[in-house]
Amino acid sequence: MYVIREVLHCKPGKVRPLMEGFRVISGALEEHGGTPLRLLTDVSGEPFWTLVVETEVERIEDFLALEPELMANPAVRDAMSGYHDLVENGRREIYRIEH
């Protein structure tokens, strides 16, 4: 089992619109039988305006295969259409869960 985390540093005041886009993705994931996304916002951090998006998957390949399917969904495409206008930079972290 893996945790995949997107750490996104937003432009000032743009966390909420980006989070709304990820809520649409979360709903689409649930429709595909997946686990909803976990959305976290910074309370005190460096830098400010950070959104963290987490999901758990059994296999990394499943996550990578699902991305194109999600982006084929018109609601997801519409929700994420202004993504680059909201984000300064970001990174993806992938961790194996070692219970």
> In this structure, how many other beta carbons lie within 10 angstroms of the beta carbon of residue 46?
7
Report the helix count and the strand count for the chain, using DSSP H and E.
Answer: 4, 4
Q: Round to whole Å and give the CA distance between 33 and 27.
A: 10
By the 8 A CB rule, do 70 and 28 touch?
Answer: yes
What does the pLDDT profile of the chain (99 residues) look like in tens digits? 999 999 999 999 999 999 999 999 999 999 888 889 999 998 877 788 999 999 999 999 988 888 888 889 999 999 999 999 999 999 999 999 998
Give this prediction's pTM. Answer: 0.90
Domain that includes residue 37, residue range: 2-96
What is the residue-wise DSSP string for 16-30? HHHHHHHHHHHHHHH
How many domains are there within the chain? 1
**CATH, residue 10:** 3.30.70.100
